[in-house]
Amino acid sequence: MKQVIWTYFATSELKNIYLFHKLAASPRIAEKIKKSIFNVTKKLLKSPLLGQIEDGLIDLK
């Protein structure tokens, strides 16, 4: 089964993006942005060649 692997760094950055927009705009806007990021990553399951290959993740299975 294919899966998208979220690294600690990616998860941390997503949290930072969410918190920034929550303060700069609103919680509703922050949630919309977070959902849109998750929706884009779901596209990788159907078309895995859309994203870049991270060298540090090549050996993970």
Which token pair is 61? 């299975």
Give the model's pLDDT for residue 59: 74
Sign of CA dihedral 28, 33, 38, 42: positive
pLDDT in tens, the chain (61 residues): 778 888 899 999 999 999 999 999 999 999 999 999 999 888 988 888 887 777 877 776 5
Place of tokens 């993970």: 60
Q: Indicate the pTM of the whole model.
A: 0.76
Name the residue among 61, 11, 20, 9 with its Cα closest to residue 38.
11
